[in-house]
Amino acid sequence: MPSLQILRTHFRAFATERVVRAVKRGGAVWLGIFLTLFGVGLRAQTDGTKQWAANVQGFITLSSPALSPDGSVVYVGVETQTGGRLIAFTREGVRKWNFDRAEAIESSPAIGADGTIYVGCGDGKLYALNPDNGSIRWAFATQTFVTSSPAIAADGTIYFGAGDSRLHALNPDGTQRWSFLAGNWIDSSPAVGADGTIYFGSFDNRVYAVTRDGVQKWSFQTGGRVFSSPAIGADGTIYVGSGDQRLYALAPDGTKKWDYFANGDIQASPTLGADGTIYFAADTNLYALKPDGTERWKSRINTSASSAAVRGDGAIILGGDDGIVRALNPTDGSEKWRFDTRSGSGNLIESSPVIATDGSIYIGSFDGFLYKLNGNGTPLSTLSAWPAFHRDPQRQGRALTISGNGRLLNLSTRAQVGGTETLIAGFVVQGVGQRAYLMRGVGPALAAFGLAGMPDPRLRVFSGTAVIGANDDWGNNEGGLSAGDTGAAVGAFPLPNGSKDAALVLPVPAGSYTAHVTAADGRDGVVLIEAYDAVGGDATARLVNLSTRGQVGVGASQLFAGVVVGGTGKSRLLLRGIGPGLAQFGVSGVLARPTLALFNGVQQLLRTNTGWTTEVSAYDLVAAAQLVGAFALDATSADCAMIVTVDPGIYTLQISGVGGTTGEALVEIYTLP
């Protein structure tokens, strides 16, 4: 087995010429209005400026900083004159502890849910360290070097590659579950897909997909060594660079979707923007590719190894071979700001930045310092499937586990409706065949809940401008599916026999629909409009959007929307409360300044928003609206929006007017991939 020093030299031979020279020295307009919004004001005065710099007494090479689960501690690996160390700093820049070894630590640490730090070392071991003091909980020896950064699966399994050409899978107690033999050593840091598949590259020129049991699913041949760590898209696409100067997009079954020639060795790992843009560094450029593999732009910024981090405001943060940290605009790659780490000539940055939840930016440099830079309050993109090296601030390298089977099972909206007004609910169905949906307009039955309901509501359901179903009194609904039986099946509260509440069951194909509730006799009152995913029809069809438009009053007359989210895992939702944005559709008397609040089933407040551009991830909101086909919000509007990740359960949205104001408003709920 060759010595570590020989292996290091061998590795550096495959780096770019600029990196080799630096190592020897010891040491790089469609959203313009939104970028302008986030580029001015108090926050922009500090964005990208130094908060502190901590001397690590060595060189931070390929190790990228990682954060503890609560963000209070930052960890980074170091190469020193006599070996290496992992250092823990508090968020204030105070050194908490050192973990010293006889060989360099180029691996980026990965942080477990319990705070345990997992990191590889040039001495051939993967270490599990106590976050309190850096003591060793266990060490697993490979008898070679470990520069690959570990990934942590949802069940706690730790995956990492090593110079023994094996991908190792360890249990949380440090015992080996299995190892998989590739054709050459593995510097690539593995990435874990949503289904548990592990993806990684090897110096045998291949990209591998291995099951959680250690069985090869497929391998893909490239024309060069694969040092880059894969990134995984929301649809499961695997993006990875190779020494053959190409970035590859591979389908989950291992077939090539496309490749892009970059005219330079690709060492940095690709990351993804909220809109699916792929960012990667090669041949002293940062490239931005569209999801179909065509070039969006490239920016010559002298970088080769640092992987970009994408913020929720769209800004792209990365280090350069010239020792400069830059923030770039996502529209064209132009520079927003720069921070120069160079205390002299020749320093470079291979380390990839990490962005904390408060927007702070941590990055290491060859100049011997770990830097903390001020952000603008914006964290990593919450919409992007892979916004940074190894995806998240803990560097776990695991795809966000959104179940994909999340379903909007029920929308129920309550509002005060005047005798000449209309309460409107919309719903979008996605699927192949027809599925039945229960629609109800409830007035008199609300008396059981102490509410003065509309005495005689009338319900009509539209597809476009065509009425496809109507009902006045639910007991007089002739033919078709029974509203009473269907209501019982989906868990809706029963309507009294003979009441003038309205209800009907409609089997409909995929498409967009609206339900209107008006007063049949001109008398006003509180109305509850409901849409249920009913029983029968295409089991794969589902509601992907629910919305209600109505008058927002004060107190009990505010607009309340209840939603039931089904499925077996977490779901991501785009929530919007629209007031001023309705004016473009000819709606008069709109709510000038709404506030949107989200509550869980026990009425605990989870999130609020007043003015969507006050959200630190406003660029994510723009991309999310485009993704689901929602109409765009004006950058200066007071409309509300937020992205949330929720478990299956019952939730309530409330729209109220700032200062007790009233007016017409729209509440929208969209499922996100």
DSSP string, 407-468: EEEEEEEEEEE-TT--EEEEEEEESSS-EEEEEEEESGGGGGGT--B-SSEEEEEEETTEEE
What pLDDT, on a 0 to 100 scale, did the predictor assign at position 480? Answer: 63
Distance of alpha carbon 393 from alpha carbon 374, whole angstroms:
16
Say if 7 falls within a structural domain.
no
Whether 535 shows a pLDDT value over 90: the answer reads: no
Query: Is 334 found in the same domain as 191?
Result: yes
Query: Is 247 found in the same domain as 182?
Result: yes
Query: Is 298 found in the same domain as 245?
Result: yes
What is the Cα Rg of the chain in Å?
A: 28
What CATH number did the domain enclosing 53 receive?
2.130.10.10
Contact 613, 586 (CB under 8 A): no
Query: Is 462 found in the same domain as 352?
Result: no
Q: What percent of the chain has pLDDT over 70?
A: 91
Number of domains in the chain: 2
What pLDDT, on a 0 to 100 scale, did the predictor assign at position 4? Answer: 34
Query: Is 364 found in the same domain as 259?
Result: yes
Position 538 confidence tier, pLDDT thresholds 50, 70, 90: confident
Position 5 confidence tier, pLDDT thresholds 50, 70, 90: very low
Domain finish residue from 323, 354, 373 = 373
Distance of alpha carbon 302 from alpha carbon 287, whole angstroms:
12
- Count of C-beta atoms within a 10 Å radius of residue 37: 17
- Give the C-alpha distances (Å, rounded to integers) separating 559 from 188, 517, 550: 52, 15, 7
The dihedral region occupied by 629, where left means phi > 0, alpha psi between -120 and 50, and beta the remainder, is left
Half-sphere exposure of 187 (CA within 13 A, CB side): 25
What pLDDT, on a 0 to 100 scale, did the predictor assign at position 32? Answer: 36
As a whole number of Å, the end-to-end CA separation of the chain is 47
Distance of alpha carbon 526 from alpha carbon 509, whole angstroms:
31
Average pLDDT over residues 343-367: 88
Exposure of 104 by Cβ count < 10 A (0-12 exposed, 13-18 middle, 19+ buried)? buried
Please name the amino acid found at residue 610: T
Distance of alpha carbon 437 from alpha carbon 115, whole angstroms:
46
DSSP notation for 528-553? EEEEEEEEEE-TT-EEEEEEEEEEE-
- Count of C-beta atoms within a 10 Å radius of residue 98: 13
Position 405 confidence tier, pLDDT thresholds 50, 70, 90: low
What pLDDT, on a 0 to 100 scale, did the predictor assign at position 34? Answer: 36
Least confident segment among 453-462, 478-487, 540-549, 606-615:
478-487
Query: Is 72 found in the same domain as 27?
Result: yes
Buried b (16+ CB within 10 A) or exposed e, 350-387: bbbbbbbeebbbbbbbbbbbbbbbbbbbbbbbbbbbbb
Query: Is 310 found in the same domain as 427?
Result: no
- Count of C-beta atoms within a 10 Å radius of residue 419: 12
Average pLDDT over residues 461-489: 86
Contact 365, 22 (CB under 8 A): no
Average pLDDT over residues 623-648: 92
Average pLDDT over residues 597-626: 91
pTM: 0.83
Say if 170 falls within a structural domain.
yes
Whether 559 shows a pLDDT value over 90: the answer reads: no
Query: Residue 108: which residues within 8 A CB-CB, separation 6 or more?
Result: 62, 63, 64, 65, 66, 77, 119, 149, 189, 352, 389, 390, 395
Whether 39 shows a pLDDT value over 80: the answer reads: no
Say if 380 falls within a structural domain.
no
Q: 17-25 and 4-13 are packed helices; what angle lies between their axes, rounded to 10 degrees?
A: 140
Contact 280, 269 (CB under 8 A): yes
What pLDDT, on a 0 to 100 scale, did the predictor assign at position 65? Answer: 98
Position 554 confidence tier, pLDDT thresholds 50, 70, 90: confident
How far from the centroid of its chain's Cα atoms is residue 100's Cα? Answer: 35
Query: Is 134 found in the same domain as 257?
Result: yes
Half-sphere exposure of 610 (CA within 13 A, CB side): 9
Distance of alpha carbon 137 from alpha carbon 152, whole angstroms:
16
What pLDDT, on a 0 to 100 scale, did the predictor assign at position 404? Answer: 54
Q: Residue 280 has which token pair?
A: 């990667």
Least confident segment among 4-18, 565-579, 589-603:
4-18
Please, what is the Cα angle at 181 between 176 and 187, to 5 degrees? 90
Position 519 confidence tier, pLDDT thresholds 50, 70, 90: very high
What pLDDT, on a 0 to 100 scale, did the predictor assign at position 224? Answer: 96
What pLDDT, on a 0 to 100 scale, did the predictor assign at position 38? Answer: 38
Query: Is 175 found in the same domain as 45?
Result: yes
Query: Is 425 found in the same domain as 357?
Result: no
Q: Rounded to 5 degrees, what are φ and ψ at 222?
A: -110, 180
Say if 388 falls within a structural domain.
no
Distance of alpha carbon 490 from alpha carbon 214, whole angstroms:
42
Say if 10 falls within a structural domain.
no
Domain finish residue from 373, 398, 429 = 373
Of residues 356 and 37, more confidently modeled: 356
Say if 659 falls within a structural domain.
yes
Average pLDDT over residues 621-647: 92
Say if 536 falls within a structural domain.
yes
State pLDDT tens for residues 64-77: 999 999 999 999 99
Position 556 confidence tier, pLDDT thresholds 50, 70, 90: confident
State pLDDT tens for residues 424-458: 888 888 888 888 899 999 999 999 998 899 999 99
Q: What average pLDDT does the structure give for the chain? A: 88
Distance of alpha carbon 476 from alpha carbon 590, whole angstroms:
36
Distance of alpha carbon 207 from alpha carbon 185, whole angstroms:
12
Query: Is 151 found in the same domain as 49?
Result: yes
Contact 540, 495 (CB under 8 A): no
Query: Is 287 found in the same domain as 334?
Result: yes
DSSP strands (E only) in 321-375: 324-328, 335-340, 354-355, 361-364, 369-373
Sign of CA dihedral 624, 629, 635, 638: negative
What pLDDT, on a 0 to 100 scale, did the predictor assign at position 542? Answer: 80
Of 39, 10, 48, give the one whose Cα is nearest residue 355.
Answer: 48
Say if 325 falls within a structural domain.
yes
What pLDDT, on a 0 to 100 scale, did the predictor assign at position 402? Answer: 63
Domain that holds residue 621: 407-672
State pLDDT tens for residues 127-165: 999 999 999 999 999 989 999 999 999 999 999 999 999
Distance of alpha carbon 497 from alpha carbon 197, whole angstroms:
54
Average pLDDT over residues 23-37: 33
Buried b (16+ CB within 10 A) or exposed e, 529-567: bbbbbbeebbeebbbbbbbbbbbbbeeebbbbbbbbbbb
Domain finish residue from 324, 348, 373 = 373
State how beta strands 354-355 and 361-364 pair: antiparallel
Q: Residue 67 has which token pair?
A: 């954060």
Q: Residue 557 has which token pair?
A: 């007359």
Q: Is 177 helix (H, G, I), strand (E, B) or coil?
A: strand
What CATH number did the domain enclosing 595 receive?
2.60.120.380
Contact 382, 643 (CB under 8 A): yes
What pLDDT, on a 0 to 100 scale, did the predictor assign at position 653? Answer: 93
Of 311, 266, 303, 271, give the one whose Cα is nearest residue 284.
Answer: 303
Least confident segment among 37-46, 413-422, 506-515:
37-46
Contact 200, 236 (CB under 8 A): no
